[in-house]
């Protein structure tokens, strides 16, 4: 009977929805295998996290609410999460593959000496854990079996389907064991980036532009379609390297990996390095003048045309749907 803990990430009090996806999946696993789902939360106030986690089937949420958890600190947060694992002994700890989770997961695993698996897309329990993750840039999958009693697993956002499982999670506190622990690398401040309103890695819809947009002045067209769809705006490596958009928009190898419900590739040929970052998207749309572009091999819907003749109309149409 495996007990699964799920890390509920907050930044400035805002909760990351990958937590609800993980709790939903953990609940599906424990419905079949027995055991409980526990949220684990670090932050000044656990009330919202506890209420929300209950909606998706968490049995309880264990929180450490010290002021030290107002903002991320690898050493303090890693210490707290390791203390949680030592005292509560979950069989699996899921951590979202976000900027924070990718840092916190291995940090905690190193403190505990336990197995850590990054960026997983599926977790199974049958006489032990089996974790699936893409390797070689999504060109194949690896099924992994951990050998330690506790395993920390990073979960790719949008890999699991969020599903309500109404109930109330019990609120509990745990001792984070950070007295006398000092920060090693200190976050002095956070600077917000200009541009995209929706963040790429967690976005449910991504609209990306490539060389087909012809110049930096036309990226606005991609952003307008993204806005109309409530999507994040992405880019191919080609236009990032050309200096047309900031590299924080880059999707693919040496950029971000995304797995949204909908990926719209505008004027992107679909080089293998780009496919690496988006081929796990559930529905892919390709708009490209070149009928032989490799992007059409992975696309579900395609329009072979000049994107300048398609994207503005598509933006208007989507706007009408939203209205």
Partner 1 sequence: MKIAVCVKQVPDSETRINLPAPAAELDRTGFTRVLNPYDAFAVEEAVKIKEAGADVEVTAITIGPETVKETLKKDCLAVGCDQALIITDPGLDNADEATIATVLVAALKRDEYDLILFGLKAIDDDSGQVGILVAEKLGLPHVSNITHLELGEGNLTAHREIEGGKEIVEATLPALLTCQKGLNEPRLPSLPNIMKAGMKPMESATCADLGIECPANLVEIKLYSPPPTRGECKLLDAEDPAAAARELARLLNEEAKVI
Restricting to residues 168-187, which ones interact with partner 1 according to CB under 8 A? 184-187
Instruction: State the Cα–Cα distance between residues 107 and 81, nearest whole angstrom.
Output: 9
C-beta closer to partner 1: residue 45 or 103: 103
Task: Report the residue from 25, 83, 91, 119 that binds partner 1 according to the rule CB under 8 A.
Answer: 119
DSSP label at 243? T
Q: Does 261 bind partner 1 (CB under 8 A)?
A: yes
Of residues 191-210, those binding partner 1 (CB under 8 A): 191-193, 196, 199-202, 205
Stretch that binds partner 1, among 22-30, 37-45, 173-181, 250-258 (CB under 8 A): 250-258
Instruction: State the Cα–Cα distance between residues 222 and 208, nearest whole angstrom.
Output: 7
Residue 143's contacts (CB-CB under 8 Å, 6 or more residues apart) are 130, 131, 132
C-beta closer to partner 1: residue 67 or 191: 191
Q: Does 117 bind partner 1 (CB under 8 A)?
A: yes
Question: How far from each other are the two terminal CA atoms of the chain, in whole angstroms?
Answer: 48
Give min distance, CB of 252 to partner 1, in A: 9
Give min distance, CB of 204 to partner 1, in A: 8
Stretch that binds partner 1, among 20-28, 36-44, 50-58, 245-253 (CB under 8 A): 245-253
Q: Are 122 and 132 in contact (CB under 8 A)?
A: yes
Number of residues that bind partner 1 (CB under 8 A): 96
Task: Report the residue from 75, 211, 227, 294 that binds partner 1 according to the rule CB under 8 A.
Answer: 75
Q: Does 103 bind partner 1 (CB under 8 A)?
A: yes
Q: Does 124 bind partner 1 (CB under 8 A)?
A: no
Q: What residues are paired with 251 via a beta bridge?
A: 256
Whose tokens are 């109930």? That residue is 167
Q: Are 290 and 269 in contact (CB under 8 A)?
A: yes
Instruction: State the Cα–Cα distance between residues 191 and 170, nearest whole angstrom.
Output: 36
Task: Report the residue from 2, 36, 45, 118 that binds partner 1 according to the rule CB under 8 A.
Answer: 118
Stretch that binds partner 1, among 41-49, 137-145, 161-169, 216-224 (CB under 8 A): 137-145
Q: Does 146 bind partner 1 (CB under 8 A)?
A: yes
C-beta closer to partner 1: residue 62 or 228: 228
Give min distance, CB of 154 to partner 1, in A: 8
Instruction: State the Cα–Cα distance between residues 207 and 233, nearest whole angstrom.
Output: 5
Q: Does 303 bind partner 1 (CB under 8 A)?
A: yes
Instruction: State the Cα–Cα distance between residues 109 and 36, nearest whole angstrom.
Output: 21
Task: Report the residue from 61, 114, 235, 258 that binds partner 1 according to the rule CB under 8 A.
Answer: 114
Enter the tokens of residue 55: 């909606």
Q: Does 86 bind partner 1 (CB under 8 A)?
A: no
Instruction: State the Cα–Cα distance between residues 200 and 207, nearest whole angstrom.
Output: 10
- Does residue 91 sit in helix, strand or coil? coil
Instruction: State the Cα–Cα distance between residues 292 and 299, nearest whole angstrom.
Output: 12
Q: Does 272 bind partner 1 (CB under 8 A)?
A: yes
Taking the mean position of all CA atoms in its chain, how far away is CA 2? 24
C-beta closer to partner 1: residue 84 or 296: 296
Enter the tokens of residue 145: 């079996």
Mask of contacts with partner 1, 12-51, x by CB under 8 A?
Answer: ----------------------------------------
Give min distance, CB of 80 to partner 1, in A: 14
Sort strands 151-155 and 129-135 into parallel, antiparallel or unpaired. unpaired
Instruction: State the Cα–Cα distance between residues 113 and 71, nearest whole angstrom.
Output: 25
Closest CA to 8 of 95, 119, 108, 98: 95
Task: Report the residue from 2, 102, 211, 227 that binds partner 1 according to the rule CB under 8 A.
Answer: 102
């Amino acid at each position: 009977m495996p007990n699964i803990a799920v890390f509920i990430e907050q930044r400035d009090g805002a909760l990351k929805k990958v937590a609800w996806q993980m709790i939903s999946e953990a609940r599906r696993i424990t419905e079949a295998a027995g055991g409980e789902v526990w949220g684990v939360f670090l932050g000044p106030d656990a009330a919202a996290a506890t209420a929300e986690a209950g909606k998706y089937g968490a049995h309880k949420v264990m929180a450490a609410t010290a002021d030290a958890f107002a903002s991320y600190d690898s050493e303090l947060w890693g210490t707290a999460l390791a203390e949680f694992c030592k005292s509560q002994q979950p069989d699996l700890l899921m951590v979202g593959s976000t900027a924070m989770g990718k840092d916190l997961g291995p940090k905690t695993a190193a403190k505990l000496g336990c197995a850590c698996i990054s960026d997983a897309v599926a977790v199974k329990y049958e006489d032990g854990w089996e974790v699936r993750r893409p390797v070689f840039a999504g060109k194949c999958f690896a099924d992994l079996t951990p050998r330690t009693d506790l395993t920390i697993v990073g979960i790719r956002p949008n890999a699991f389907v969020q599903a309500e499982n109404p109930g109330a999670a019990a609120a509990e506190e745990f001792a984070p064991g950070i007295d006398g622990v000092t920060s090693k690398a200190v976050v002095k401040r956070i600077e917000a980036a200009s541009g995209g309103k929706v963040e790429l890695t967690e976005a449910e819809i991504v609209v990306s532009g490539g060389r087909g947009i012809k110049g930096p002045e036309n990226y606005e067209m991609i952003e307008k379609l993204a806005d109309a769809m409530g999507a994040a705006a992405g880019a191919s490596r080609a236009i990032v390297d050309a200096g047309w958009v900031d590299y924080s928009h880059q999707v693919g190898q040496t950029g971000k990996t995304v797995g949204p419900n909908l990926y719209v590739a505008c004027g992107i040929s679909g080089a293998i390095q780009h496919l690496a970052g988006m081929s796990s998207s559930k529905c892919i749309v390709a708009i490209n003048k070149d009928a032989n572009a490799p992007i059409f091999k992975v696309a579900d819907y395609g329009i072979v045309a000049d994107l300048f003749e398609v994207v503005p109309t598509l933006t208007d149409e989507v706007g009408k749907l939203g209205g």
